[in-house]
Amino acid sequence: MVISIGDRLPEVEVMTMSASGPKKVNTADILCTGKVVLFAVPGAFTPTCSDLHLPGFIHRADELKQKGIDTIACIAVNDVFVMDAWGKAYGVDNALTLLADGNGDFTKAMGLEMDGSGFGMGLRSQRYAAVVENGVLGALFVEQGPGVEVSSADSVLEHV
């Protein structure tokens, strides 16, 4: 079942890269304090994710923060090393927090998984963006087809 507006985000362990290496973090610690924009991509280094989705949030990070967003996070069903390399390749720096949902546990708990096995990708996340306040889902924008329309940084800016 897909998460609904007004539901609390699932609390799941994911990974992020720290200065000392890979680190387990609970999604509650990152996504459930203050006002958060979370966006999910099917895969790091994939064309649409790398050419459109991630860069949009990097370029619009300051505007989102000016509108009261405390944290901008990106999650993908990739391992922490891939997410770290992707962040370095695209100059994420401190603009966003990259979360590796390597086993897809968070994605499954959100009810937003997709079967990418037809493309050799296995279980992945649907492309979406969410606005979360103190752990409660306030808005959810799930793409219904290819491309980045409703889950883009520009679209999210219109709703925060």
> Per-residue pLDDT tens for 34-46?
999 999 999 999 9
Pick the CATH number of 13-157 from 3.40.630.30, 3.90.650.10, 3.40.109.10, 3.40.30.10: 3.40.30.10
What does the domain layout of the chain look like in residue ranges? 13-157
Q: State the DSSP code for 8.
A: B
Is residue 74 annotated as part of the catalytic site, yes or no? no
So what's the pLDDT on residue 147?
86
Q: What DSSP state is assigned to residue 12?
A: -
At residue 76, the pLDDT reads 97
In the Cβ-directed half-sphere of 70, how many Cα atoms lie within 13 Å? 12
* pLDDT, average across residues 92-109: 96
Q: Would you state the pLDDT for residue 87? A: 97
Kindly state the helix (H) or strand (E) to which residue 153 belongs, with its residue range.
helix 153-157
Phi-psi region of 158 (alpha: psi -120 to 50; beta: other; left: phi over 0): alpha
The confidence score (pLDDT) of residue 52 equals 87
Q: Which of 9, 31, 40, 49 is catalytic?
A: 49
Least confident segment among 19-23, 121-125, 149-153: 121-125
Q: Which residues partner with 100 through β-bridges?
A: 15, 76
End-to-end distance of the chain based on CA atoms, in angstroms? Answer: 25
Contact assessment for residue 43 and residue 124, using Cβ atoms and an 8 Å cutoff: yes
